Structure 1
Amino acid sequence: MHLRFHSAFGKLPATLQSTLRPYIAAPDFPAILTAEQTAAIHAWLRGETALVAITVNYRPCDHCRQFMNELNSGAGLQIRLPGAEPATLADHLPDAFGPKDLGIATLLMDQINHGYQLTLTDELAQAALAAANQSYAPYSNAHSGLALAAEDGRVYAGRYAENAAFNPSLPPLQAALILFNLLGGDCMKIRRAVLAEPQSAILSQWDMTRATLAALGCHNVSRVSF
């Protein structure tokens, strides 16, 4: 799919390593990943524990602002735009509603391990469970993770990132696809996938995961429950 709107996002993690991440859209993919989401999730999956600033070539949309409001950087996250004075997320999202309004103390990008355990011998299932243990779902407690196996044998795992406003929540499949894409994988050449999620969660990633992967040509999808 060709889009005439081009967006890019530079993130400054707490480790001071600056990187550039794009807006992602693809044919038959039922979701669009914004540059801001892509960069923040990529940093999280690569082990960063906070962002201190972002640089983006267009003012972040309301969806992105609400998504970033879940980060542990909070309202103090610096947002830099071309030709404008640096501002904070609070300047772009006044009177914000977020996790602190709901009494949530552990925020997105904080280090966490939920401690779920299963006896698994499959490497892909183990990676999915590990991702679920580090997922962020303080509102539903529907912690989930997903691991993708590429044709070359490499494994890419993504975690659920929930949001107080819910709609900006990012499912584990989209998180895994961000990593898959940015590390050079071909999202149309996924060999196998495993989802890890609770047996009786109030929301499930299963149906959406299978449908999206089918659109990408992957039908070898399984689930482990804890």
Structure 2
Amino acid sequence: MSSNPFKADPAIPARLASLGPELREAVQQAAKGVLASRARAPLGNEGSVIPRAVAEDLIGRFQLSSVRELMLLLLDVAKGYAHPSISDFHVGAVGLEAETGNLILGGNVEFPGSHLGYTLHGEGFIVIRAMSRGANISTLAIGEAHPCAHCRQCLAEYARSGELELIDPLGHTLSLAQLYPWPFDPAYLGEPGAMPGRVLWPELAFAEASDHPEAPALLAAGRHSHSPYSRCPGAVVLTLADGNHVSGIAMESVAFNPTIQPIQAAIVNLLAHGYGYADVREAVLGTVIGGAVDYSRSTAELLASLSPDIRLTVLGWRG
């Protein structure tokens, strides 16, 4: 086992322990109630999100010391978004939106019947949700501020990654720069990095006219695809049994791998809003068919591992 070169602040775990199990349970139950009230409403994209005003109310009501303390207390709640169908190892993560002060909760996701490379870690869940909401993350709480190299590379893709801090219940407060001091970052390929809300493909259009009912939503999502390296944007819209929709976009890495595929991002947004795989009726994919990156086959593979009944429609972008 590798040794930990970073010193933790013992006052943080001592403070958390002093709060006692009853208070911890009360905070977590209150948060669960807020999250449940916001589930299954993807139109506002508020799934797995605790608004700043609610977070501040929880801090005041339970006499917590800070939003960071609240984030650490909510890690067990965040595990509720985990779907580790292979390992049964549940990971929770909580992110603080830089622009709004809202909290985003998420967990790790695995896909039995497919290969392990589709796995999403808790950190990835948070950045996907933040990207879909047009927000950056300033602070990320995880069980141990020791993300794997895959996650460090994923986090380094963001233009504001140098400002990111990671905290944990052990008492660590570490910057991404400390954890990944000499990163292979977007600047190596002359790119600024991922900027949530950025319209990277304003002229994106379908190769052929489509009357698919989700074509406009797919096009709107695809224009935000973070695909500066392959120049092959990708997006997915999932149609759910209740008529609602969730979407996801490609999020490329300067290292190429770990790139997040649009179907992975759409699944995160599905789970964040309290839906399950059985709720998905159709997926429509926008991709550059036959391009340097074509998401058609990988999307079909992952959907088949979720349910053989999900219809997939592929619409090609103009290359």
**Same fold by TM (over 0.5)?**
yes
CA spacing shift, 1:97–1:2, aligned 2, 3 Å: closer
- Other structure's SS at 1:75 match: helix
Per the TM alignment, residue 6 of structure 1 is displaced from its structure 2 partner at its CA by 2.5
- CA displacement, residues 158-201 of structure 1 (integer Å, 9 cap, x when unaligned): 00000011111100000000001110111133211111112452
- CA displacement, residues 98-145 of structure 1 (integer Å, 9 cap, x when unaligned): 101211025242522412134443232222222111000111001110
- CA displacement, residues 22-77 of structure 1 (integer Å, 9 cap, x when unaligned): 112243354211000001101211232x1111111122111001000001222221
Structure 2 counterpart of 1:17: 102
Indicate conservation of the 8 Å contact 1:142/1:204, yes or no. yes
- Other structure's SS at 2:277 match: coil
Distance in 1, matches of 2:110 and 2:225, equals 24
More helix, by proportion: 2
Equivalent position amino acid for 1:207 in 2: R
Once the two structures are superposed, the pairs formed by residues 62-77 of structure 1 within 5 Å of their partners are 62-77=149-164
Structure 1 counterpart of 2:143: 57
Q: Structure 2: which 5+ runs fail to align?
A: 1-84
Work out the percentage of aligned pairs sharing the same amino acid: 27
Indicate conservation of the 8 Å contact 1:146/1:176, yes or no. yes
Equivalent position amino acid for 2:292 in 1: I
In the alignment, which of 219, 231, 237 is matched to residue 147 of structure 1?
237
Structure 2 counterpart of 1:137: 227
In the alignment, which of 276, 279, 295 is matched to residue 205 of structure 1?
295
Equivalent position amino acid for 2:139 in 1: A
Larger CA Rg, structure 1 vs 2: 2
Structure 1 counterpart of 2:127: 40
Distance in 1, matches of 2:138 and 2:315, equals 36
| TM-score, normalising length: structure 2 | 0.66
Per the TM alignment, residue 223 of structure 1 is displaced from its structure 2 partner at its CA by 1.1
RMSD: 1.8
Structure 2 counterpart of 1:225: 316
Distance in 2, matches of 1:4 and 1:181, equals 17
Indicate conservation of the 8 Å contact 2:133/2:196, yes or no. no
Structure 2 counterpart of 1:111: 198
- Other structure's SS at 2:278 match: coil
Distance in 2, matches of 1:4 and 1:114, equals 39
- Other structure's SS at 1:123 match: coil
| TM-score, normalising length: structure 1 | 0.92
Distance in 1, matches of 2:226 and 2:198, equals 10
Indicate conservation of the 8 Å contact 1:9/1:39, yes or no. yes
Structure 2 counterpart of 1:167: 257
Distance in 2, matches of 1:107 and 1:19, equals 18
Deviates more, 1:199-208 or 1:167-176: 199-208
More strand, by proportion: 1
Distance in 1, matches of 2:255 and 2:220, equals 26
State the number of aligned residues.
225
